[in-house]
Amino acid sequence: MRVTMIGTGYVGLVSGACFADFGHDVVCVDKDAGKIERLKKGEIPIFEPGLDDLVTRNVREGRLAFAVEAGEAIRAADAVFIAVGTPSRRGDGHADLSYVHAAAEEIAGLMDGFTVVVTKSTVPVGTGDEIEAIIRKANPSADFAVVSNPEFLREGAAIEDFKRPDRIVVGTEDERAKAVMNELYRPLFLNETPIVFTGRRTSELIKYAANAFLALKITFINEIADLCEAVGADVQQVARGIGLDKRIGNKFLNAGPGYGGSCFPKDTLALVRTAQDAKTPMRLIETTVAINDARKKAMAGRVADALEGDLNGKVIGVLGLTFKPNTDDMRDAPSLDIIPALQAMGATIQAYDPEGHEARQMLRGVDFKDGPYEAVEGADAVVIITEWDQFRALDLDRMKLLMKAPNVIDLRNIYRPEDMRSRGFRYSSVGRG
């Protein structure tokens, strides 16, 4: 199959490279000429484990190419994927669809022969209808079908998620489009991945419902963690005790500083707006959003508590800045709320993250260090915000010697309280009362 991917962001690049690896001919298109130049040279703009090898191999073997001009690639394509950004619109939280609409306009003018137009971007219910109308208006004789095919990739594990998904969701009523989508995902039939064929609007909603449910699940365990602290229980044991019930499941029950990233915050907000517009408000998700926002801000208070409520003039070492490990993504990272709140309480921050380079532009007045031990040196307390593997195996004796006072606030529960205390740390974590 010939596939054109519009947008070489996270989703477009991973999906394009994986489709090429399945054996399809893929062209990834992006208006950003500098980015395309770098991709052609094999430079990957994002940090995603395994992606550079996958891209390099498929380019070398002639199945993956990059282009600024979409014309030729769209004319030749069996399927054109729209994988452009849908950020939160400033002011109202609705998804901003201007890039999606622009892509539809462009495709309309270029498509040739039957073409399946697929939305991979996360788009509100009804966007497929809008794309269809845009194309129909711009090119009344075009032969095409618009399909919704949401992605469920997690940053940091995206290639594995693409190649071994729990399910594929395809929203279309069009039989020719179904055949094209079946062919595209055929390599996954071998491991019997379920394909859910459904209506387009249903498919669009499945994506939001999945992310909102996961955000709700995390928020639920975070509230249970607070209760555990108050009553002297252990949230990890509670998570295990409920997670073994197959109806609940053990995933996404890690308590922490609140969810962040490029998806949950924006998608929960967009779902809330969609539901309000449809006059069926989703109060559960509205509350989830509010609890999570407040939680991220409240985390600085835990650091203050560990230092008898006074952060004035204190040096805080921060380990981890990205919204989760194995990504360089800083979008809506809890660190962006926690660090300014610590600074407002009078603390000085020295921080380290292996990949969160963008933090240098996003956080003011922070002393960025080149390694974890540099970040803890001279600190009155250390806060672990992101659970990078390298923070799980720190030389704790060395760390203790370097610190001014042995206070550790572990917002990801990566250490055991009894181990830390026996090594002489004053240690606090989340939900282990």
Under the rule (CB under 6 A), what is the footprint of ligand UGA?
122, 151-155, 211, 214, 218, 252-254, 256, 259-261, 263-264, 323-324
- Residue 123 neighbours by CB distance under 10 Å: 23
Please report the DSSP string for 322-371 in residue order: SSSTT----TT-THHHHHHHHHHTT-EEEEE-SS-TTHHHHSSSEEE-SS
Residue 342: CB minimum distance to ligand UGA, A: 19
Rank residues 16 and 261 by Cβ distance to ligand UGA and give the closer one.
261
Residue 346: CB minimum distance to ligand UGA, A: 27
Distance CA 14, CA 19 (A): 9
Rank residues 8 and 115 by Cβ distance to ligand UGA and give the closer one.
8
Residue 431: CB minimum distance to ligand UGA, A: 12
Residue 146: CB minimum distance to ligand UGA, A: 20
Half-sphere exposure of 325 (CA within 13 A, CB side): 12
Distance CA 381, CA 121 (A): 41
Distance CA 70, CA 255 (A): 44
Q: For the chain, first and last CA: distance in Å?
A: 56
Q: Could you give the C-alpha distances from 317 to 9, 361, 375, 391, in angstroms and in order?
A: 32, 19, 5, 13
Rank residues 406 and 431 by Cβ distance to ligand UGA and give the closer one.
431
Rank residues 120 and 200 by Cβ distance to ligand UGA and give the closer one.
120
* Residue in the block written with tokens 């044991």: 237
Rank residues 3 and 95 by Cβ distance to ligand UGA and give the closer one.
95
Distance CA 116, CA 3 (A): 10
- Residue 163 neighbours by CB distance under 10 Å: 15
Spell out a b/e string for 328-347, using b for 16 or more CB atoms within 10 Å of the CB, else e. Answer: bbbbbbbbbbbbbbbbebeb
Residue 398's contacts (CB-CB under 8 Å, 6 or more residues apart) are: 373
Q: Could you give the C-alpha distances from 118 to 107, 115, 147, 184, 205, in angstroms and in order?
A: 11, 9, 5, 12, 15
Q: Could you give the C-alpha distances from 165 to 1, 11, 185, in angstroms and in order?
A: 20, 14, 11
Rank residues 256 and 431 by Cβ distance to ligand UGA and give the closer one.
256
Residue 338: CB minimum distance to ligand UGA, A: 13
Torsion 88-90-94-99 (CA) sign: negative
Residue 218: CB minimum distance to ligand UGA, A: 4
Residue 386: CB minimum distance to ligand UGA, A: 8
Rank residues 152 and 425 by Cβ distance to ligand UGA and give the closer one.
152
263 is catalytic: yes
Find the Cα–Cα–Cα–Cα dihedral 117, 121, 127, 131, rounded to 10°. -30
Q: Which residues are catalytic?
A: 263
